[in-house]
Amino acid sequence: MQVELHDIHKTFGPVYANKGLTLVVPSGMIQGILGENGAGKSTLMKILSGFIQADRGEIILNGKQVVIKSPADAIKHGIGMLHQDPLDFPPMQILDNFLIGHSGGIFPQKIKAKREFLNLAKEFGFSLDPNNYVDALTVGERQQLEIMRLLWLGVDVLILDEPTTGISAEQKKKLFETLRKLAAGGKTIIFVSHKLEDVGDLCARVAVLREGELVGSMEPPFDNEKLVEMMFGKVIVQPQLQTIKPGECVLEMRDVAIEDYRLKMSEINLEAYAGEVIGLAGMEGSGQSLFLKACAGLLRPVGGAVYVHNENMTGKVYRSFLQRGVAYLPASRLEEGLVPGLTLSEHFCLADGNTGFFIDRKQNLALTNTRIKDFNIHGLATTPVESLSGGNQQRALLALLKDKLSLILLEHPTRGLDIESAIYIWRKLKARCNDGTAIIFISSDLEEVLNYSDRILVFFSGRVSRPIRADKTNVEELGELIGGRGWTKLAT
């Protein structure tokens, strides 16, 4: 189906999200849409898929002008969207989830649906058990389920919003294969991303958005430098980061065993030294989050001992760890890190660890303004945190950290951030290392792990590798380890 968007305008309050965007995607094309956060990619896609309505502009499908009022409407017109966080129902069985949105009378025809589910899965080479539960799936598998569901509903246009975030290299390969197959079959694919390499691998054409406007379009061969320049309006130079000589041991794990209802890990040994960065690589849900939580005292180990500065902290609560200079920055910023509804200054007030009774507003405001300036947060002291953009929220989280820390634990520190913000965050983190702080972080971006770590731990379904020196490995080796290959070689 040929999709045409003409002169789309959309504002949120005073902010222009889309400023007269025009885009024509012929049927059977894989169209990439590139842009940094806040460039208006998601808004445009949400307009096309009926989640929000444009203030002005036309949508034309196969030459016919349509009005899309809701996501259900979009599906009726043959447009389906795969969201960055899959919109599925974790407590449900896969087959039931598959049936959702399908209009087929009061009683769903489960047997027929199951047959068609299995056929679709076979066609694309997905191995999903329809009787399993959704919450047992990885992000990548949930994407596969959602793609199958949308195709079964009969969509001709598939929109994917940052689909390669949080899935493994293997799953990404499979996803791209599937998308190419679909495009060859005449479906129109719109692929939204801020990752150059993904867009370059997959797309037949790329449109670049900046500040709500279409600033350029390119067909292969892609010139990455040019694309980056279009995205940011300037050339970005990746800074060279020097490694720091590690100091004393700040964290030691001795034969630690941890488990949750899915994973069991044992005999974990690690010594982290002041000033070093340790990257945790692995597919989502391979145990790295559990490991990080155990480092923070948010998860009680079932065996072994955890030492912070040679003090046995096994079984102590997170607050005790915090008091000894261990800080934890979760991936879901608004759910686990910041308090929506409170302002920036109230956050600094909470994090400051004051022991007085009455709040010293003057001092608090001064502190807030200094931090806002130091960390380049685009917001005021009175701005509620939920109205900050993702990058600013992440910077705010960093700004909330105490001045003197021994260890910072981060989950996906740059997920969803544009390159500029990511570089900024790492500059701040490396400055911490210079002051003798150790950093342990999780990332599903192997480049990031390799670029910033001194040592790397690889996780694969509950197994933890020995620390690998970052300068002695490469993306290929890490990729294999993450996929579960090459472990015997590593052990020797």
Partner 1 sequence: MLQKQTSRWVNLGFQFLAILVALAFTTLLLVLSGAPPIQAYKELILGAFGSIDNVSNVLIAWAPLLITTAGLLVTFAAGLWNIGIEGQITLGAIFTTWVLRSFENSSLSPTMIIILSIVAGMFGGMLWASLVGVLKTFGGVNEIFGGLGLNFIASTLVLYLIYGPWRRPGVASLSGTEIFPNRLWLPSISNLGISPWAFALGILGILIIYFFLRGTYIGLKLKAIGKNIRSAHTLGIPTWQYMMLSFMICGLFAGLTGALQVTNVYHRLLPYITSGYGFLGLLVAMLINYQAIWVAPITLFYVALNVGSVQLPIALKLDSNLSGVLQGFLVLFVLLMEGVRQKLTRKV
**Interacting residue ranges for partner 1, rule: CB under 8 A:** 318-319, 322-323, 328, 330, 334-342, 346-347, 349-351, 353-354, 356-359, 361, 400
Q: How far is the CB of 468 from partner 1 (least distance, A)?
A: 29
Question: Of 234 and 404, which CB lies nearer to partner 1 in the complex structure?
Answer: 404
Q: Could you tell me if 324 and 406 are in contact, meaning their C-beta atoms sit under 8 angstroms apart?
A: yes
Strand pairing report for 438-442 and 407-411:
parallel
Q: How far is the CB of 70 from partner 1 (least distance, A)?
A: 14
Question: Of 124 and 328, which CB lies nearer to partner 1 in the complex structure?
Answer: 328
Question: Of 91 and 356, which CB lies nearer to partner 1 in the complex structure?
Answer: 356
Question: Of 291 and 348, which CB lies nearer to partner 1 in the complex structure?
Answer: 348
Token digits of residue 420:
């500029």
The alpha carbon dihedral of 290, 295, 297, 303 has a sign of: positive
Question: Of 47 and 349, which CB lies nearer to partner 1 in the complex structure?
Answer: 349
Q: What angle do CA 461, 464, 466 make, to 5 degrees?
A: 155
What b/e sequence results for 363-391 when a residue is b if at least 16 CB atoms lie within 10 Å of its CB, and e otherwise? Answer: ebeebbeebbeebebebebebbbeebbbb
Helix (H/G/I), strand (E/B), else coil: 379: coil
Question: Of 255 and 336, which CB lies nearer to partner 1 in the complex structure?
Answer: 336
Token digits of residue 322:
């915090």
Q: How far is the CB of 379 from partner 1 (least distance, A)?
A: 16
Q: How far is the CB of 263 from partner 1 (least distance, A)?
A: 21
Q: Which residues pair with 447 in a beta bridge?
A: none
Largest CA distance in the chain: 71
Of the candidates 492, 453, 466, which has an alpha carbon nearest to the alpha carbon of residue 475?
453
Task: State the Cα–Cα distance between residues 87 and 83, nearest whole angstrom.
Answer: 7
- The helix (H) or strand (E) run that includes residue 290 is helix 288-296
Question: Of 95 and 400, which CB lies nearer to partner 1 in the complex structure?
Answer: 400
Q: How far is the CB of 84 from partner 1 (least distance, A)?
A: 21
Task: State the Cα–Cα distance between residues 303 and 317, nearest whole angstrom.
Answer: 16
Question: Of 323 and 461, which CB lies nearer to partner 1 in the complex structure?
Answer: 323
Q: Could you tell me if 35 and 41 are in contact, meaning their C-beta atoms sit under 8 angstroms apart?
A: yes
- The helix (H) or strand (E) run that includes residue 476 is helix 475-482
The region, left, alpha or beta by phi > 0 then psi within -120 to 50, assigned to residue 259 is beta
